[in-house]
Amino acid sequence: MNSEVRFDRSVGALATEETLRMIARLPAPAGLEDRVKAGLRSAPKSANVIAWPLASANGWMRSAGMRGAAAAAIVLAIAGGGWGVYSHIQVAPVPSALADPQLPGAAGRFSTAGAMHVPQTVQGPVVAAPVLKKQVQPPAEAVPSWQQHAAKKGKAHAQSHSSAATPSIK
Amino acid sequence: MEIVESSVHDAARQHAEEAALAALVDQYASTLYRVAFSVLRNQQDAEDAVQEAFLRVLRHRETLGEIRDHRVWLVRIVWNIVLDRKRRAKTRPETDDIADLTRVLPATGMSAEQRAAAVQHHSSVLACVEKLPDREREVMLLSAFEELSSVEIAAVLGVTESSVRSRLFRARNLMAELLQHKRSTP
C-alpha cells in the first residue's frame, strides 16, 4: 500500500515535469527576433535635448562653453528682471504711533464695549413678575431721626440760655 | 576639434550599445519567449512580454556592462513582467489551455486520437499546477527549463538555493496529491 502510494506520487511528479518540460521546449515563433528588433528601433531611446531651431547641426550651440555662456545669460536676464521688480516695490512707511480705528458714531459717547443687544425672543418669552405697590408714608409726617435729635438739642440749648439771661427772683 | 571628438565618441558608444542589444535579442529572445509562454500560455502575450523586457533593457542599456550573467538577468526581467501580467489577468480556464495546446503541440508520430488524449492530459496537469501555491508553482515552472540550474533559479527568484530545493520538493508532493485526487474524482 505504502509503495503503491509512493509509486503514484512519483508518477504524478513525473507527469507534471513531463508536461512542463514539453511546454518549456516549445519553439519560439519564427521571426521573433526580427519583430523584437523592429520594436526596439521604433521605440524612443531616451530623453533628448530639444534642438534650438536657430542652431545649426555644427553651429556654435554645440560648444559646451557657448552653451554655458548662453545659460549664464538666461540666468542673468531672469535675475535682473527679478531685481527690477523688487527694487520698484515701495514699502509702506511704518507709523511712529499706532492709532486705534475710530468706531463710527462713537464720538462723545460711551462705547458698548462689544456688547450686543439680544432681543428677549431669542431666549424665549419672559413673563414679567407682578409688581407689588408699596405703601409709602407721606413725606410731611415722617420726621427723620436726625431731625428729632436736632430738635431736642435745640430745645435744651434754648432753655440754658433763658435761665442764664433771666435773673432768678428770690 | 574637441566637439567633433565627443560627438564621434557618442555615436560610437551608441552604435556599440545597439549592437550589444541586438546580440542579446539574437541570443536570448527564444529563451525569454519560452519562459514567458510557460507562465502565460499564450503566444501573443508571451511575445509582448519579451518585447517589453527588451524595451526595459534598452532604457537601462548603460548598465549592460555591469551585468555579469546576462541570461539570468534577462530571465529575471521577463519573469517579473509575466508574473505582473498574470496577476492582473483573470484566472485562465482549462478550456483555453486545451485550445492553445492543441495549436502548439507537435503532432509528429501521433494519431488524432492520441493527440487529443495528450492535450487533455497536459491540460489537466496544467490545471493542477495552477492550484499550487505561488512559491511552489514558480519553482516548478522554472525547474522545467533545462538550461536553468537551481542556483540560477534562486537568482531569478531572489531566494537561496536551499529554499529552491525545498520548494521543489513540496511542489512535487503537492502535485502528486492533486493528480491523485483528480483521478479518484472524475
Average pLDDT rounded to a whole number, residues B1-10: 62
Kindly list the residues from chain A whose CB atom is less than 8 angstroms away from the CB atom of residue B55.
39-40, 43
Which of residues A36 and A43 earns the better pLDDT score? A36
| SS3 of residue B133 by DSSP | coil
Alpha carbons A6 and A8: distance in angstroms, whole number: 5
Highest mean pLDDT out of A48-57, A104-113, A161-170 = A104-113
- Rounded percentage of chain A residues whose pLDDT exceeds 70: 41
Q: B30 — contact with chain A (CB < 8 Å)? A: yes
Nearest CA in chain B to A66: B3
Q: Do B38 and A23 touch (CB under 8 A)?
A: yes
B85 in any annotated domain: yes
Which of residues B17 and A35 earns the better pLDDT score? A35
Q: Do A37 and B25 touch (CB under 8 A)?
A: yes
pLDDT band at A161; cut points 50, 70, 90: low
B10 in any annotated domain: yes
Q: Do A33 and B26 touch (CB under 8 A)?
A: yes
Q: Do A15 and B179 touch (CB under 8 A)?
A: yes
Whether the per-residue pLDDT at B116 is higher than 50: the answer is yes
pLDDT at residue A74, as a whole number: 95
Closest C-alpha among B161, B91, B158 to residue B129:
B91
B13 in any annotated domain: yes
Place of cell 509582448: B48
pLDDT at residue A59, as a whole number: 60
Alpha carbons A72 and A128: distance in angstroms, whole number: 85
Average pLDDT rounded to a whole number, residues A64-81: 91
Rounded to the nearest angstrom, the gap between the alpha carbon of residue B3 and the centroid of all alpha carbons in its chain is 45
Closest C-alpha among B97, B96, B174 to residue B135:
B174
Q: Is the pTM of this model over 0.90?
A: no
For residue B37, what are the domain limits? 1-89
Average pLDDT rounded to a whole number, residues A142-146: 58
Contact criterion met (CB below 8 Å) for B150 and B161: yes
Q: Do A10 and B33 touch (CB under 8 A)?
A: no
**pLDDT tens column, A1-37:** 445 555 566 666 777 888 888 888 888 888 999 999 8
B134 in any annotated domain: no
Alpha carbons A14 and B60: distance in angstroms, whole number: 40
B5 in any annotated domain: yes
Distance from CA of A46 to the nearest CA of B (A): 7
Whole-Å CA distances, A115 to A81, A100, A108, A126, A169: 53, 19, 18, 21, 81
Q: Which residues of B14-28 are buried (b: 16+ CB within 10 A; e: fewer)?
A: eeebbeebbebbeeb
Whether the per-residue pLDDT at A107 is higher than 80: the answer is no
**pLDDT tens column, B136-178:** 999 999 999 988 899 999 999 999 999 999 999 999 999 888 8
When mean pLDDT is compared across A107-111, B84-88, B118-122, B157-161, the lowest value belongs to: A107-111
Q: Do B146 and A11 touch (CB under 8 A)?
A: no
Alpha carbons A135 and A127: distance in angstroms, whole number: 25
Nearest by CB: A40 against B21, B43, B177: B21
Joined together, the cell numbers standing for residue A92 give 509702506
Whether the per-residue pLDDT at A135 is higher than 50: the answer is yes
Whether the per-residue pLDDT at B33 is higher than 90: the answer is yes
Average pLDDT rounded to a whole number, residues B55-61: 86
pLDDT at residue B133, as a whole number: 93
Alpha carbons A35 and A15: distance in angstroms, whole number: 35
Q: B128 — contact with chain A (CB < 8 Å)? A: yes
B84 in any annotated domain: yes
Q: What is the mean pLDDT of chain A?
A: 69
CATH code at B68? 1.10.1740.10
Q: What are A's interface residues with B at a Cβ cutoff of 8 A?
A: 8-13, 15-17, 19-29, 32-33, 35-37, 39-40, 43, 45-46, 58, 62-63
pLDDT band at B63; cut points 50, 70, 90: confident
Whether the per-residue pLDDT at A166 is higher than 50: the answer is no
Kindly list the residues from chain A whose CB atom is less than 8 angstroms away from the CB atom of residue B146.
21, 24
B69 in any annotated domain: yes
Rounded to the nearest angstrom, the gap between the alpha carbon of residue A45 and the centroid of all alpha carbons in its chain is 48
Q: Do B125 and A11 touch (CB under 8 A)?
A: no
Nearest by CB: A36 against B37, B50, B177: B50
pLDDT band at A124; cut points 50, 70, 90: low
Type of residue numbered A47:
A
Whole-Å CA distances, A145 to A152, A155, B41, B80: 11, 15, 123, 113
Whole-Å CA distances, B3 to A104, B12, B13, B17, B83: 77, 14, 15, 21, 46
Joined together, the cell numbers standing for residue A111 give 462705547
**pLDDT tens column, B71-114:** 999 999 999 999 999 888 766 666 676 677 767 776 667 788 88
B71 in any annotated domain: yes
Q: Do A23 and B58 touch (CB under 8 A)?
A: no
Whether the per-residue pLDDT at A167 is higher than 50: the answer is no
Average pLDDT rounded to a whole number, residues A44-54: 56
Whether the per-residue pLDDT at A75 is higher than 90: the answer is yes
Kindly list the residues from chain A whose CB atom is less than 8 angstroms away from the CB atom of residue B178.
12
Q: Do B176 and A11 touch (CB under 8 A)?
A: yes
Total of domains in chain B: 1
Average pLDDT rounded to a whole number, residues B107-134: 82
- Residues contacting B157, CB < 8 A, separation 6+: B79, B138, B139, B142, B164
